[in-house]
Amino acid sequence: MIQKQKDHASLADDFNKDEDRVGWHDDTLWWIREKRDKIAWQVPDWELLRDAASNIKDHVLSNLNPYLLQFEANAIANGITVHWAADAAEHNQIVLDILREKEITKLVKSKSMLTEECHLNDFLGENGVDVIDSDLGERIVQLAEESPSHIVLPCIHKKKEEIGELFHKHLGTPEGNSDPQLLTEAARHHLRETFLSRKATVTGINFAVAETGEFVICTNEGNADMGAHLADVHIACMGIEKIIPDRKDLGVFLRLLARSATGQPITTYSSHFKKPRQGQEMHIILVDNGRTKQLGREDFRNSLKCIRCGACMNTCPVYRRSGGHSYHYAITGPIGAILAPNLDMEKYADLPFASTLCGSCTNVCPVKIDIHQQLYKWRQVIVQNGYAPKAKELSMKMMAFTLSSPFVYHTAGKMGRAVLKYAPFTLNNKFNPWYKQRDLPEVPEASFGEWYKKNRNKNEQ
Amino acid sequence: MANGIKKIETKMSSRTQILAAVLANQPGILPKPAFHPFSPGGEKDLEVFVKTATGIGSTVHFLGGMEEVKALITQKFATGRIISPIAELSEIAELDFAELDAHTLEDVELGVFIAHFGVAENSALWVTEDLLGKRVSPFICQHLMLVVNKNNILQNMHQAYDKIGTANYDFGTFIAGPSKTADIEQSLVLGAHGPRSLAIVVLA
């Protein structure tokens, strides 16, 4: 895989080769978006809840230093070991050090987008630690040697027939069988053995409560709990922005999270871990990895309020038709496109452009992040810093030149209409991607300017 | 040894560095908003609770007391290992499983536990470690039964956390329905890693 990273547009092109799959992907995600609407509208004061969540998160970000200290002190008092990691490398090393000290070489991991962001699995693999992902969707992409394409629904891009094939190869299910019930049952048995035999587990954290030092993990499958309650060592990883002030704030966030994510009233399990169980070792790793930098960027600070529900991608017309892998970053979709450039503006310069700026993401965000406005702002920052794609830079310069001179503008308009009328093949050919799935409207005889001039004269006569 | 010292130094410096960067970059303090007075609870909480619970795949049984619970269990689970910390169920369930190694609960067919309360809006039931015997017990069993008093159904999660207050649990969890997944083409399958079914007993 030593090749230049393809950008969003060309990765989306790859995804769009299979039109049926694009349609299916689009419909599936829109169906989840509709489920979200249906359940959200059943909650009186849904908008008040979003306001409350947004305000609590704003407050946390404005007072993060004291809250981190308070959380750390309480977690330590509860018997948890707290670690701090400045970046992904340090986070991964801390996990490895804990495992090495216990001579543990096998790990079971539940869903954590942070560990995806840090590429923990690759790092541990290179260092002789075997990792099994226990969330069914994550296990599927792991077996397929892919990355999750959605933060809540990791294998939303996969057809059940492909999963059936994978399970036949790796778990010995009958060839050609792709019944979800049967495949899930096979995974249940396979992962039960894993839970029972692994001495260490890594989990993510949904919410960390400063007031009490406890943390909350939400799953539907129960995989985080199965891992944590059977392992001798539990390592829980969180970005520093996951803090909330008080236990009662959970009432606001737990009402919003699952409704926004999948249209469920709540996840099956919302587990509150306060102390290690008797004889167990519990670690929390607090990770920065660019978050303090984002905190200092006034225009983009809001992105740290994200609770990782995925509603913005389910509703996004671009994400639904380009697939999660086109974002080439751990967090996909609109929210990923405003988080990624903070880490590496050059590498992810294409992502803020992967949007129509329609604002649907902003409308569904449970913590009211102004996602589409941040996408727009990132575009400006990226162009100012010279990271815009060359073709885009050139066309923008041409446009600026054309728009800044009335003469050039009118002449260009006339020429354009003439070309479309008399020589459409110069534009409508296979080299112009615009025409791949669409046509231009019929060319008008005159521009609005010309029409107005003519008709105004008529009226005045 | 030198290695050990170096490691501690790195840790200290990351902590200091992160906290300093947060302090430098966090904006001027915005006050914590006063808690909004969300819509008050309804009189139909129990009705909503039952509708929500059955809607997400739980079954709900209205029973008069533990004798009836015992009869329901015997009727539904004729064979298989049953664990429960409820003394009245001693004839049909193991009561002393809390002392066992968690892994030995692997073959439990049914776990029966008392829940502190249920929440109408999402049918979640709140249980804590002291009611579970072992943390893993409501997750590892093939089927789960939770018993809640009819008077302990609250309307929403705000009331739930008001009720929890400053309770000092070591581990607690909201359980809403059987464990489930829809990761394969969004087809809902009950019984992912945890219980395949959840029976909720509402005691009059």
Cβ A221–B14 below 8 Å, yes or no?
A: no
Q: What is the CATH number of the domain that holds B71?
A: 3.40.50.10420
Residue to mutate among A96, A184, A191, with most B CBs inside 10 A, is: A184
Minimum-distance CB partner of B32 among A65, A192, A245: A245
Q: Which residues of A touch B189 (CB under 8 A)?
A: 180-181, 184
Three-state secondary-structure class, residue A230: helix
User: What is the pLDDT, as a whole number, of residue A429?
Assistant: 72
User: What is the pLDDT, as a whole number, of residue A407?
Assistant: 86
Residue B9 lies in a domain: no
Please give the residue of chain A at the shortest CA–CA distance from B27. A62
Would you place residue A224 in the very low, low, confident or very high pLDDT band (cuts 50, 70, 90)?
Answer: very high
Min distance B69 CA to chain A CA atoms (Å):
24
Please give the residue of chain B at the shortest CA–CA distance from A150. B183
Would you place residue B12 in the very low, low, confident or very high pLDDT band (cuts 50, 70, 90)?
Answer: low
Residue B11 lies in a domain: no
CA distances from residue A393 to A11, A17, A113, A387 in whole angstroms, order as listed: 20, 27, 33, 9
Asked whether the predicted pLDDT for residue B3 surpasses 50, the reply is no
Q: For residue B61, which amino acid is it?
A: H
Q: Which residue has the higher pLDDT, A259 or B44?
A: A259
Asked whether the predicted pLDDT for residue B115 surpasses 60, the reply is yes
The pLDDT tens digits for B33-53 are 877 666 666 779 999 999 999
Classify domain A20-292 by CATH number. Answer: 3.40.50.10420
Q: Which residues of A touch B178 (CB under 8 A)?
A: 268
Asked whether the predicted pLDDT for residue A3 surpasses 60, the reply is no
What's the predicted TM-score (pTM) here? 0.91
- Choice among A191-200, A435-444, B7-16 with the minimum mean pLDDT: B7-16
* Domain carrying residue B76: 45-203
Question: In terms of DSSP H, where are the helices of A78-159?
Answer: 88-101, 113-117, 120-126, 136-143
What is the total count of domains within chain B? 1
Place of tokens 């579970």: B132
Residue A251 sits at the chain B interface (C-beta within 8 Å) = yes
Spatial distance between the Cα atoms of A188 and A191, rounded to a whole number of angstroms: 5
User: What is the pLDDT, as a whole number, of residue B4?
Assistant: 46
Q: Which residues of A touch B11 (CB under 8 A)?
A: 83-84
Asked whether the predicted pLDDT for residue A454 surpasses 90, the reply is no
Min distance B204 CA to chain A CA atoms (Å):
25
B59 and B200 Cβ atoms separated by less than 8 Å: yes
The pLDDT tens digits for B84-103 are 999 999 999 999 999 999 99
A286 and A177 Cβ atoms separated by less than 8 Å: no
Spatial distance between the Cα atoms of A434 and A428, rounded to a whole number of angstroms: 8
Minimum-distance CB partner of B21 among A191, A220, A292: A292
Cβ A62–B26 below 8 Å, yes or no?
A: yes
- Exposure string for A330-355, b = 16+ CB within 10 A, e = fewer: bbbbbbbbbbbbbbebeebbbbbbbb
CA distances from residue A8 to A3, A61, A253, A353 in whole angstroms, order as listed: 15, 31, 32, 9
* pLDDT, average across residues A89-101: 98
The pLDDT tens digits for B159-198 are 999 999 999 999 999 999 999 999 999 999 999 999 999 9
User: What is the pLDDT, as a whole number, of residue B1?
Assistant: 40
**CA atoms within 13 A of residue B124's CA, in its CB half-sphere:** 29
Asked whether the predicted pLDDT for residue A210 surpasses 90, the reply is yes
- DSSP state letters, A355-406: -----HHHHH-TT---HHHHHHHHHHHHHHTT-S-HHHHHHHHHHHHHHH-H
Of chain B, the percentage scoring pLDDT greater than 90 comes to 85
Tokens of A60: 């946390």
Q: What residues contact residue A3 under an 8 Å CB cut-off, 6+ apart? A: none
Q: Which residue has the higher pLDDT, A376 or A437?
A: A376
* pLDDT, average across residues A279-301: 97
Domains of chain A by residue range: 1-19+310-402, 20-292, 405-460
Does the CA dihedral A308-A312-A314-A319 come out positive or negative? negative
Q: Which residues of B touch A173 (CB under 8 A)?
A: none
Residue B123 lies in a domain: yes
The pLDDT tens digits for A319-359 are 999 999 999 999 999 999 999 999 999 999 999 999 999 99
Three-state secondary-structure class, residue A235: strand
User: What is the pLDDT, as a whole number, of residue A393?
Assistant: 74
